[in-house]
Amino acid sequence: MLWAAAFMLVLALGLTDTARARDCPQQPVLPAGTKVPADGWQAVDGGEGICVYNRRVPGSPIHAVLARAVIDAAPQRAFAVIGDYAHYAEFMPYVRESRVLSDTGATRRVFLALDFPLFISDRYSTIELSEGSGEVGQAVQRIEWTLAAAGDAFVPADGGEPLRVNDGIWELRAQDGGRRTDVLYYVHTDPGGYLPTWIVELANNVAVPRVIGAVAQRAAH
């Protein structure tokens, strides 16, 4: 029964839709100045036009995921879409609810409730995000986040399970004179609970290209 349930989950999450990103190098070529860890990456299945990689994280059974893609939107537009945290439920995969809990200008605390199909219970997290730029001339725009401290976390009244880990980085660089954006998306997330590790890793590898696709579609319209 466990394997049957797992197979149904694979179908429900669309994991069978993945395709090998054949044009991607086995090791990612990362730009100078990136905050994304540089070593230990291995190519995995990804979506068309999106290169996806995994690496081990010390002390965690779940791999981190890195995706690299170029999208048809200006960096400013992509940055605005990614930073529209209050409206994630309108376009981000699996997000049922999002709300900005606080905004100091330097950091924001954002609550996210995630909705998954079949037997997977809802998950939630409160993350702290910082936005900024780097390199000479603001050549890169960056958003970083991690789980908020326990005292700053929001616990929803309708239940669910808190994410154990939710860390990540967006980096956006102009391409083609600013008409397109080179996107780096790094995330390490562990949903907790009793899900098999291989299911979590498959889900993460599929969710990351979908997130980039959602941003690209929103930015284009």
Q: How many domains is the chain partitioned into structurally?
A: 1
The pTM (predicted TM-score) of the whole model is 0.87
Q: CATH number for the domain including 50?
A: 3.30.530.20
Range of the domain at 108: 2-220
Q: What is the pLDDT of residues 73-122, one digit of tens each?
A: 999 999 999 999 999 999 999 999 999 999 998 899 999 999 876 567 88
The whole-number average pLDDT for the span 62-72 is: 96
Q: How far apart are CA 166 and CA 33, in angstroms?
A: 23
Residue 178 has pLDDT above 80, yes or no: yes
Residue 30 has pLDDT above 90, yes or no: yes
What single string gives the DSSP state of each residue in 84-135?
-GGGGGGTSTTEEEEEEEEE-SSEEEEEEEE--STTPPPEEEEEEEEEEEET
pLDDT confidence of residue 3: 33
Q: pLDDT band at 55, cuts 50/70/90?
A: very high
